[in-house]
Structure 1
Amino acid sequence: MVGRAGQAAWRVLTLRRSDADVLRRLWERATLPALTAADRTLLHLLTVDGPRAVTEVAPMLGVRRFFTGSAKKQSADMAGEFLRRHHAAFLRSDGPGRLERLGAFTAPVDPRRLGFQSLLDPALRFDLVSGQTAPAPEILDRPVIDGLPEALDAIANVVAGEASYRSAARDAGEKVRRADVQRILHEMPVDALKSATRDRLRLGPLYAEGIKTVQEVLDCGWSLQALPGVGETSARRMLGAAQTLRQTTYDEMPVRIDVNHRHPETTQLLRCLAEWDSCRQTRGAAADLERASELAPLRAAIDSGTTHLLVIPARQLAVAGLTESIQIVKRRAELLGMSSASGRRNVGADPWDDFLARPADYFAMLAELGFATEDENASHGDLPEEIIQAVRDQALNGEHLTASLRGYQSFGARFALVQRKVIIGDEMGLGKTVEAIAVLAHLRSRGKTHFLVVCPAAVVTNWIREVAAKSKLRACRVHGTERARAARAWMRDGGVAITTYETLAWWEPALRDLRDLACVVVDEAHYIKNPQAQRTIRTKRLVARSERAILLTGTPLENKVDEFRNLASYVRPDLTVDAGDLSPRTFRRQIAPAYLRRNQEDVLTELPELIEIEEWLPLSGADGSRYRGAVERGNFMEMRQAAMLEGSQSTKMQRLIEIVREAEENERRVIVFSHFRDVLSLVARSLPGPVFGPLTGSVPAGQRQQMVDQFSSARHGAVLVAQIVAGGVGLNIQSASVVVICEPQLKPTTEAQAIARAHRMGQVQSVQVHRLLSEDGVDQRITELLARKKRIFDEFARVSDMADSSPEAVDLSEAELVREVLAAERQRLFEDASAKTVGVE
């Protein structure tokens, strides 16, 4: 048996030249004449009844007849009569001639002309094949497996060579785990012993001797029985309870890397991980190594005498899947043979520096070692079982990929390969970009050459960097002043072209002539939720022409369920989503073939805590006057900014300055988000310390990334001031761990995206989110109304088991929100005030 995804996928029978005789005998059996009922009766007589009668006659033959009893003589006489009667009948019915005909083959074949392909002939009635339904068995020739044993041996040697480094890293991880357990037990009071046993432990003698923690109990060991008032039985129970607590704590303890407490054992773990990473040649080859492991039984079965393989699918997998795995493994062995130690990463004196520069890579290594565990079911999202199985069966070639994939990321990439055109809606910060790159790298190994990424201008640079860092693919920036030259080079040589929604308007006519566009990746795909928008129309045409398409978005649903349905229709127009029944469960089931989403809390077990703080602040006198004037003028946008624009006289600004000072004291960096440029400009002028920005939509994409890089390398207390619609999309800013949002946004997904710039894979500190909210006025009204929108997203776009609901009853457009807020505030400030004035008079 040869496996795939942990299950038997193919039965393989090795064939040698000497098996040709067996094949001849099978063919002879299959070409014997068909038996009639009379033939079967005759054969039964000759093979069953006749021999039994001969046995019964035997006692009457020879000397034995003188010693045979009367009963046996009578039985022998009857048997003899039976034989005489049937012998005469046999001769009368031309029995000899019938036997001769039954022994003659109906289709004699020269054994030298029989090939192993004959095993697949239904007429042969070969049991292993005859009952097989589609997919069909196949005979593979020797060249398919030539070099496989050597390839598997080469891979095994490389893995063995890395094993000592891997083992050292695993041992170091266990030391970190045990040290953390010991620290917890040092702080765990002895009262906890009572929770680990049903016995009533008398802890007074421990207190009397100054033993206050569980770890101190373990340190004392059996010497406890010497304490006054303890004894052997009590000591045994106390130690048993303490050991139970230690084991339970160990079982539940992940391997943590705490940047705020750099313990020696954690430093040693990082050093071991860095050494393992620098020496290993199998980086990015996890999927290929899995294939090698699955082929191990085949390696044991074949030898130099094997000339063919009979492959019989055990599941709904074609034989081509096995040949693909063999080719993947042989190619991986070739690549490992070409690699050398010259490509090793330099391990510096302080491993913390390398960890902080690329924490996601370290967490991926911990996941490979089993320390950062993932819930396999969570990686499947809300997919039906038949799609999950197909994804498990899909090979992922890592030849052109240089990054290590987490388990859920590998699943996402294979999902896109199986379903061909999909939406990957993973929550922000889970690595949708690397999942898409893994798909492109796989397709490149299959001979495909031209791939296209369409994204907002703000993330073009990030895509260029990610493609270069995570793969061997060539990235082409088809954007900006050099776009024409880059487009010509890409059309000629291939690679990954990265362009923007706006540039696509210029480039689309030329792309219509391209016939081998293998895959289109549409990043921040919620930009094309409006089917009437020109950028949507252009992108949709491109998706339709491409062989494959991946729409990436962490916010597939921002306002209405119809927008989500639109995105699904671009990749799978054949899906029928019933407009008459829009219950969340039904909607998710109908859209499942095209949509995969996983959430941070389900798959990133190592992600630091997200602390969200709503800071409700009073309006200062100056704030109140500005706000009241904005309401009088009916200026909604001015109402939203009023609590910040009085600068040092504004309560929100005063609190923001306090947050930044606290962050500097706690060695953190801060991102400040606002929708409004005037607010951002004022914040940039008012804050102490180094301030970067404002990062707004008018800042060129290249300069945005440069601004983020400068901020990330600045000292603690640095602040990046960013417009939430520009800095909250696409950029990775894990160097910041404090996020401030100056006013509530009109879409809850806008805030979620902004927070995810910092709280994402690779973040090593807890992330604090401060929402600055005014107690009176527009902030409170917006917050109340937007709670409805968040419920829609959770029910329809996020995996959820909530009860059915009708989205039409809670959908809320931005214009409706503005009208509701204005009406409520005018009534509160003016009509209520008028009523009070009348009452006083």
Structure 2
Amino acid sequence: KLEEKLGNLEDIAPNRYLTNFIDSITFKYWCESEAEIYRILDGCIQVNSTFRDCLNDNLNDQEIKALFEKDSATFYALIEEITGNKKSYNPSDLPDYIVHEVQKTKLNLKGFKAHLRSYQAFGSKYIFYFQRTLLGDEMGLGKTIQALAVATHLSNQGQTHCLVISPLSVLENWKREIEKWTNIKCFVFRGDKAIKEQNLSKWEESGGILLTNYSHCRILKESRKNIDIDFAIVDEAHLIKNPATKRSKNVNALIKNCKYKLLMTGTALENRLDEMINLIDFLNESLAEKVANNLNNKTYKTDIAQVYLRRKRKEVLHELPALGLTTMWSTFNEKEQDFYDQAVSEGIAGLMKMRRAAFIDEDSQKIEQIINICVDSHENSEKVIVFSFFKNYVLKLLNKKLPFLADDIISGDLSSNQRQEVIDKFSENPNQNVLLVQIDAGGFGLNIQAANRVILCEPQWKPSTENQAISRAYRMGQNRNVMVYRLLTKESVDETMMEIIHEKEDIFNTYANDSVVADAFMNNDSDKEENEAVMKKKVFQIERDRLEKKQEVVNVSE
């Protein structure tokens, strides 16, 4: 393409001096073509620079494919730059004036090693321009990269002290991403008291990114009378959606006076409709109050668009492969049914037993389904992630039954470093095809694109929990179609829970699945939403009533 355009220009005017002798229309075409040439050339130079250690003239098709699959996200970003598609991204649901102001914002990304996709570049500019924002991009779209781009720009501008607060389980992932994509120094505030103090002092002295987890926010705040933070990033921010919790209060006290604040979550709303307003309150108290009190106000769309940005995978990752969902039904055997009935008789306390009843017997249809999926995946050189809430009663049993396993179960028992080591080996070892993950421990923050099959052993109470789990595999960089298997037992609590989950998915899609969510608030009352405890009681009651009616029918027939 470059050679073709150069030839066309030379035919018109071989140099700039000779353009003085062509007509104005041709001159305009010549200038536009020259700019295009420089852009293509710059993209080619970036490709060569990025992959200089991998590219040579002797690569065969298989080697090229393997190189692409290893880092397809970078390839796609470079393709956008070379083809010019990068300039075309404009979010359709933001006011035009916001899009215009964000697009003309310039970022100094000297030292930043990642290639931003067009929507990511927009997101980074948006975060910097509005200063205090809630980035609600769907999981798998690279929120971390966008945050690090802003941290790099601010550091280059002399605002060098950045704080990242995240769950402990993803602290190591943050450290890796910082070291991989930036030249910014990274310090971790956790562990031994002396080490914490040493790292905090180094960060204060030299600047950089200070990493800590939620439980250390109070300790960090109390360690200094004043902590000067230029940029605060709160990852998985839905964990501070309830302002009354100690966790939320500690985070707020720590970052309250920070000029640049970024809350990141793929699930801005989970159970209650006021959760997103609570998150906005961390960023802009007056706006949160205005939104809460004036839901029918015509300015709502504009107001919320200045603090909340959300993009969905299907809107921005057009190359993303297909996502399929298969529901696989099973039935209890006699032993499992007896266990289930006994659990129901124990009242609400037996609900957890009811949820795992399909795994109490080795002759389990669910276990057989999982084994078949895993064997088939191995034969097709594919990898599987198996998610369950129950480590001791489900995952440990599967650990004895399944072939081609990873070295360990991803659970709360492993440190963030250990989890990453297990995932790295699982991703690279062709003999490890099955990774067992406790869904609360590995449901967010981990990138496992090596797997393209996901098994959900039982329904979860929140739709976001399942969505986060699926997004460990179905995210930017995934090259193969992803298949999700949802395992459900007929005539059990599984069916009732799925009905509840679908209701909650509808709420999420209505209120938080778009950047602008004004209309949705108008006809709903957040107080009508149920908390998890109430929901569990409701589910149990429905299931107990169903079994009682079933028993009445049996008694009549006898």
- Scaled to the shorter chain, the TM-score interval is 0.7 to 0.9
Amino acid in structure 2 at the alignment position of 1:415: Y
8 Å contact from structure 1 (residues 690, 718) kept in 2: yes
C-alpha separation between the residues in 1 aligned to 2:189 and 2:130?
28
The counterpart of 1:563, out of the listed 272, 275, 281, is 275
Question: Does 2:131 correspond to 1:420?
Answer: yes
Q: Structure 2: which 5+ runs fail to align?
A: 1-33
- Residue 784 of structure 1 corresponds to 499
- Residue 654 of structure 1 corresponds to 368
- Residue 345 of structure 1 corresponds to 53
C-alpha separation between the residues in 2 aligned to 1:768 and 1:163?
39
Alignment of 1:585-600 (within 5 A): 590-600=303-313
- Shift of the 351–511 alpha-carbon distance from structure 1 to 2, 3 Å rule, reads farther
1:793 is displaced (CA, Å) by 0.9
The counterpart of 1:705, out of the listed 409, 413, 420, is 420
1:542 is displaced (CA, Å) by 2.3
SS of the residue 2:496 aligns to: helix
Q: Structure 1: which 5+ runs fail to align?
A: 1-155, 167-275, 284-342
8 Å contact from structure 1 (residues 668, 717) kept in 2: no
Amino acid in structure 1 at the alignment position of 2:282: Y
C-alpha separation between the residues in 1 aligned to 2:304 and 2:152?
27
C-alpha separation between the residues in 2 aligned to 1:165 and 1:417?
25
Question: Does 2:147 correspond to 1:441?
Answer: no
- Shift of the 697–437 alpha-carbon distance from structure 1 to 2, 3 Å rule, reads same
- Residue 727 of structure 1 corresponds to 442
C-alpha separation between the residues in 2 aligned to 1:475 and 1:610?
36
- Residue 113 of structure 1 corresponds to none
C-alpha separation between the residues in 1 aligned to 2:254 and 2:92?
27
- Residue 759 of structure 1 corresponds to 474
1:540 is displaced (CA, Å) by 1.0
How large is the RMSD of aligned CA atoms in angstroms? 2.6
8 Å contact from structure 1 (residues 456, 500) kept in 2: yes
1:545 is displaced (CA, Å) by 1.8
1:381 is displaced (CA, Å) by 6.2
8 Å contact from structure 1 (residues 422, 551) kept in 2: yes
SS of the residue 2:468 aligns to: helix
- Residue 666 of structure 1 corresponds to 380
The counterpart of 2:231, out of the listed 511, 515, 519, is 519
Amino acid in structure 2 at the alignment position of 1:537: K
C-alpha separation between the residues in 2 aligned to 1:783 and 1:528?
26
C-alpha separation between the residues in 2 aligned to 1:538 and 1:474?
25
C-alpha separation between the residues in 1 aligned to 2:39 and 2:262?
38
Larger Rg: 1
C-alpha separation between the residues in 1 aligned to 2:77 and 2:394?
39
Question: Does 2:544 correspond to 1:826?
Answer: yes
Higher relative contact order at CA 8 Å, sep ≥6: structure 1 or structure 2?
Answer: 2
- Shift of the 714–694 alpha-carbon distance from structure 1 to 2, 3 Å rule, reads same
8 Å contact from structure 1 (residues 672, 722) kept in 2: yes
SS of the residue 1:561 aligns to: coil
C-alpha distance after superposition, 1:111-162 (max 9, x if no partner): xxxxxxxxxxxxxxxxxxxxxxxxxxxxxxxxxxxxxxxxxxxxx99x8598
SS of the residue 2:394 aligns to: helix
- Residue 182 of structure 2 corresponds to 471
Question: Does 2:360 correspond to 1:360?
Answer: no
8 Å contact from structure 2 (residues 43, 82) kept in 1: no
C-alpha distance after superposition, 1:266-297 (max 9, x if no partner): xxxxxxxxxx54534xx7xxxxxxxxxxxxxx
Question: Does 2:48 correspond to 1:279?
Answer: yes
- Shift of the 717–773 alpha-carbon distance from structure 1 to 2, 3 Å rule, reads farther
SS of the residue 1:447 aligns to: coil
8 Å contact from structure 2 (residues 406, 433) kept in 1: yes
Question: Does 2:112 correspond to 1:401?
Answer: yes
- Shift of the 454–651 alpha-carbon distance from structure 1 to 2, 3 Å rule, reads same
8 Å contact from structure 2 (residues 86, 118) kept in 1: no
Question: Does 2:202 correspond to 1:484?
Answer: no
Range 764-773 or range 826-835, more displaced: 826-835
Question: Does 2:322 correspond to 1:621?
Answer: no
- Residue 228 of structure 1 corresponds to none
- Shift of the 381–455 alpha-carbon distance from structure 1 to 2, 3 Å rule, reads farther
C-alpha separation between the residues in 1 aligned to 2:374 and 2:301?
42
SS of the residue 1:746 aligns to: coil
Amino acid in structure 2 at the alignment position of 1:557: L
1:744 is displaced (CA, Å) by 0.6
Percent identity over the alignment? 34
- Shift of the 590–772 alpha-carbon distance from structure 1 to 2, 3 Å rule, reads same
- Shift of the 830–424 alpha-carbon distance from structure 1 to 2, 3 Å rule, reads same
C-alpha separation between the residues in 2 aligned to 1:397 and 1:723?
40
Alignment of 1:65-104 (within 5 A): none
- Residue 145 of structure 1 corresponds to none
Question: How high is the TM-score relative to the length of structure 2?
Answer: 0.86
C-alpha separation between the residues in 1 aligned to 2:85 and 2:478?
14
The counterpart of 1:813, out of the listed 528, 531, 534, is 531
Amino acid in structure 2 at the alignment position of 1:388: V
1:496 is displaced (CA, Å) by 0.7
- Shift of the 363–396 alpha-carbon distance from structure 1 to 2, 3 Å rule, reads same
C-alpha separation between the residues in 1 aligned to 2:68 and 2:157?
34
C-alpha separation between the residues in 1 aligned to 2:465 and 2:253?
27
8 Å contact from structure 1 (residues 429, 759) kept in 2: yes
Question: Does 2:41 correspond to 1:163?
Answer: yes
C-alpha distance after superposition, 1:647-680 (max 9, x if no partner): x311111100001011111110000001111211
1:562 is displaced (CA, Å) by 1.3
C-alpha separation between the residues in 2 aligned to 1:726 and 1:558?
18
C-alpha separation between the residues in 2 aligned to 1:555 and 1:393?
29
Amino acid in structure 2 at the alignment position of 1:514: I
8 Å contact from structure 2 (residues 277, 291) kept in 1: no
C-alpha separation between the residues in 1 aligned to 2:107 and 2:136?
20
1:636 is displaced (CA, Å) by 0.8
- Residue 179 of structure 1 corresponds to none
1:821 is displaced (CA, Å) by 1.3
